[in-house]
Amino acid sequence: MDATLKSGRTGAEGEPLRAAPLWRRTAAISSRLAAILIFDWRRAPLWAPVAFGAGVAAYFSAPVEPRVIDVVWLIAGAIALLLAARRAGAVALLAATAVLLASLGFAAGAIRARLVAAPVLAEAGDYQVAGRLLGASRSGNGATRLLFDRIAIDGLTDAPMRIRVTAPGVLADQFRPGDRFSFSAFLAPPAGPTEPGGYDFRRRAWFDGLGAVGRIEGPLAMLGSTSPDGALDRAAMWLSGVRADIAAGLRAHMPEAEGAFAAAILVGDRAAIPPRALDDLRASNLAHLLAISGLHMALVTGLIFAAARALVALAPPVVLRISGKKIAAVAALAAGLGYLALSGASVATQRAFIMVAVALVAVLLDRPAVTLRALALAALIVLSLRPESLVEPGFQMSFAATAALVAVYGDARDRWREARRGAGPLVRIGLYLGALVLTSLVAGLATAPFAAHHFNRISSYGLIANVAAAPVMGLWVMPSAMLAGALAPFGLEGWALDVMARGVATILAVAHWVAGLPDATRSVAEAPSFAFALLVAGGLLLCLCRRWGKAAGAALALLGIALWWADNRPDVLIAERGRQIGAMGPEGRALSFAGGRSDFTASTWLRRDGDAARPKEAAERPGLSVGKGWAHADLAHGWRLEGELQRAEQSRLEALCQEQVILLAPRNWRPPAGPCLYIGPREVNSGPIAVEIVDRKAARLTIVAERAGRRLWTGNPAVSNSQ
């Protein structure tokens, strides 16, 4: 008999039947829903980092910095919901668990943002600075950048914890980390987005403890070395010195490009890579070889694991008492930890080590090492320790590639083993080459949307380059590098480094050849947020689900691509204070001028448009006319832009303020009377502006200050840490 009879029905004794409790009815509904969805409950743990990451994403998307008390109430409410869902069926319990994980992710972001809080320079200007050198890197245009901590600035009592400055004429290996310098520099707070919705460098700088950036404007005066603060600081400075010595030794022993490449993959020092070689690696989709991430960590630990297991097999008494596989796992874990420390422990390397460590611990516990569950655990650990990783391209691309590879090889594992069983040498070689091509194809497809979204270009021949270079990296360069490290204490590393240099030269030759092919790279416009979210959701369903879930994932991914393709970039972009204007014309975005500091803003606009033109070329395009104090552009749907860049008479503004007119007047505080879309000093002083023309009657204006919100890193969070 149905337990949910309508009121008025009677039982066997003639008494009215009462409706079933709400929790029982909810349980029945959730059970039916689970059957309809054909949900694989064994895969539910795989969604834990997804739910946690959704909470992290919600934190970074919040328009206002949440108060501590708000975060506490959020978690308390999620716990109460979980307790209430215990008797409401499996689906309700699963949904409540997801809500709790999302709440914890939100809290992790809020807590982490407060833990890393450090002073930020309040005003741009010329300063006299003293600081300790932490390391050197290279900017996008090839200039040397120096990172300093222990900052002292004349006239400031609350100096930033760290600053990063461009140092023209300074060689990357000219100084040693740990030395203290004095210099004059132009410093400014970390810059915000160049347009609404763009990359916010302030957020990255906040989590890196970077309080100012700038340019050295005088000579560097060495003040001597500084004593470390405690054992950890002493160890960090010692490791920095060892890394600098190794990088210098590699560059001294090998040709310029090969030595710089070797220093990048072994100790994370990328400062001396020639710009031409770096451009070739980027154009051929081989730049990922420079970042010490999952590939390098897997190669190092994998080689150590194989070597240790082979050595243990030579000692039968040991194998009879202790599992050789577990001894090899401990050795590989120690090697991975050493590589992490030696490489500088960047965020990408920390993430790679966590992933490898989870796999090796699984070996120690007699569990499968490479599974989606191990990957989910690694992702959960990384997001718990560094929630800000979620919005970084490195995290997204590495986990996307790994998840896709594990999912594909997990489905094909049995067939692959069957094919290898009893196969001859030629068949095994063919299977290896096939696996190499499949790996490059799957990883390339998984990371392509992220690379296109963040870097606005795709490599047309990346698959060819990776198929050619990956075996060289795995079978030639890294083994010879490890052999050189083993021989270095005996002074016998020279010949191994020569072998490594020839392998690196081969990779650079492949990169140069692929980069020289016609249309080696193609520019792509940045994806709108909603389309990108659909692509991510579709990819997750494809990797983590079966049957209908994969079909739904493919549909979402295709929908995201379609929306990406159909999206239009803003018709007008205006830099802060009206210093640069970009209007869409018949040949692409036309700029008001080119040159000076505005070139970075203009280049970013063009790149996000998917436009490969340089600012100088875009400034010569038709579509935007600029004269002394004025600008004019004819736009879509009959709209036009009228710019009065100098202070104008009010009567002039009144005459221009008509329908379908965007009136830009950055020096006139009094808005004119009329139906135009007026952009005055209040708007342009609030940050860059984007204008999107909807139709003949409507245009949408967005300002960076409104889109970025009131957050800790924007300087106006409107929140107290004590609340």
DSSP string across 38-57:
T--GGGGGGGHHHHHHHHHH
Tokens at 642, concatenated: 């009228």
Amino acid at 25: R
Q: Which helix (H) or strand (E) holds 429?
A: helix 425-455
Cβ-proximal residues to 647 (8 Å cutoff; 6+ apart), any chain: 667, 668
State how far the Cα of 475 lies from the Cα of 432, in Å rounded to an integer.
Answer: 13
Fold that domain 125-226 belongs to in CATH: OB fold (Dihydrolipoamide Acetyltransferase, E2P) (2.40.50)
At 202 the pLDDT is 95
User: Max CA-CA distance within the chain?
Assistant: 100
As given in the structure block, the two tokens for residue 571 are 């018709």
The single-letter code of the amino acid at 5 is L
Number of other residues whose CB lies within 10 A of the CB of residue 185:
24
CB atoms within 10 A of CB 491: 7
The pLDDT score that the predictor gives to residue 42 is 74
The pLDDT of residue 237 is 82
State the Cα–Cα distance between residues 625 and 641, nearest whole angstrom. 10
Query: From CA 76, how far away is CA 501, in angstroms rounded?
Result: 58
* Distance, CA of 111 to CA of 102 (rounded, Å): 14
Residue 1 is predicted with a pLDDT of: 35
- Write the DSSP string, 663-705: EE-TT--SPPSSSSEEE-HHHHTTS-EEEEE-SSS-EEEEEHH
Alpha helix segments (H runs only) across 620-721: 650-656, 681-684, 704-708
Look at residue 322 and give its three-state secondary structure. coil
Task: Determine the pLDDT at residue 226.
Answer: 74
Specify the pLDDT at position 41. 65
Nearest to 682 by CA among 662, 700, 705: 705
Q: What is the pLDDT of residue 37?
A: 44
User: What does the pLDDT look like over 418-459, one tens digit per residue?
Assistant: 766 767 777 777 777 777 778 888 888 888 899 899 999 888
Low-confidence spans in the chain with pLDDT less than 70? 1-41, 140-142, 172-173, 319, 411, 413-414, 416-417, 419-420, 422, 716-723
Question: What whole-number distance in Å separates Cα of residue 462 and Cα of residue 470?
Answer: 11
d(CA 605, CA 591): 10
Query: Which residues, other chains included, contact 196 with Cβ-Cβ below 8 Å and sequence gap of 6+?
Result: 688, 689, 690, 702, 703, 704, 706, 707, 708
Half-sphere CA count of 177, side-chain side, radius 13 A: 26
Instruction: Report the pLDDT value the prediction gives residue 28, as an integer from 0 to 100.
Output: 54
Per residue in 432-442, pLDDT tens? 777 777 888 88
Residue 440: CB atoms within 10 A of its CB come to 20
Whole-number pLDDT of residue 172: 66
Residue (of 539, 569, 567) closest to 553 by Cα position: 539
pTM here? 0.86
Q: What local confidence, expressed as pLDDT, does residue 332 receive? A: 92
> What are the C-alpha distances in Å from 570 to residues 58, 584, 635, 702?
25, 8, 11, 10
